[in-house]
Structure 1
Amino acid sequence: MTPGSNIPLSAARVTVDVAAPVRLDVSGLLLTGDGKVRSDDDFIFYNQPTGPGVTYRSGGGTAPDAIVVDTAAVPPGIEKIVVTASPDAAGQSFQGIEPTTTIRNADDNSVLGSFTPPQLGAETALVVVEIYLRNGVWKARAVGQGYANGLAGIATDFGVSVEEPAPAPVAPPTRTVEARVAAPVGGSAAGAGAAA
């Protein structure tokens, strides 16, 4: 597949896996006709692995992570499932680690299509493919749209509430207290040092 191309899905259940030379975080977002999630429950990823008709499957570090879509179980009103990927290492971009997405029949593992986005650079997250409903037919489209602000940027674009980490509390300034030793009256400074 090439960017923007699409294929009709010949299987009701498909697996979309995303492989790269490094570990990736793969997720899926269920979108309505306006291109937004209905709630944060429509964001499927390793911490929330199941949703209506969509499941996250971990590769366990030895195989690619995947999103499994059962088109027959996708609820009415959901018109698109967007599959995203980002490098697991914080701040790592896709420069030199272009991912390959493979769409398979989930029941017999046969390949329906594959896609490798061209010319990636500073992107830290990608919308790799979308599974979408058009005139009653489920299709897959190669996307390859990159984001420089990671998975949070993608999630926010599609209406997911992303909690930013709370800023670290600022410690009150500390004062250095200098101990001053006064020389005893009638004594010498050397004697004061000895007394201390």
Structure 2
Amino acid sequence: MGKVAMVLLVLYLVVVMQLIHGLVSEDNWLEMGKEKVTHLHFYFHDTVSGKTPSSVRVAQAVGSDKSPTLFGVVMMVDDPLTEGPEPSSKLVGRAQGLYGSAGQEELGLIIAMNFGFTDGMYNGSTLCILGRNPALHPVREMPIVGGTGFFRLARGIAIFKTYWYNATTGDAIVEYNVTAIHY
């Protein structure tokens, strides 16, 4: 047997052993238990102004600044999630991801966001949302498309509404009510 064949055989055995280990490990996906439903309530603080914004513009199209909807603007986000609407309220996690203005005629943000929780029994777990946010509507909803840790294989819905908005700075506080179905 040549050296290349021997290396391939060893790599194959390593992969097979990892697969077998995954099938019998304590973290077995086949033994996750019953589905659970969890309801969460928190506030999302999106700060685009000041010396330390939590949301920054990372890209834009040539005419974005002339568009009434800022069409083509992309923002990168690392926003605090808190228990109450006050910025000084207890921190429960961070929303990290991006949103971009995808509507030419109506303000519609396309959002890809990961809610990483840092408190209590959800510490280290995440929920992921993906979809369109018609930001000027009083109440919006977006799908939960996944999760990790406590929220493994999550699906569900995030219903949210603007709690506070400053039209001059663009800063906002958004109230979230989340229902997640997970294992």
The answer to whether the superposition gives a TM-score over 0.5 is no
Q: Which has the larger radius of gyration?
A: 1
The structure that is strand-richer by fraction is 2
- Give the TM-score normalised by the residue count of structure 1: 0.27
Q: Which has the higher helix share?
A: 2
Normalised to the residue count of structure 2, the TM-score between the two structures is 0.28
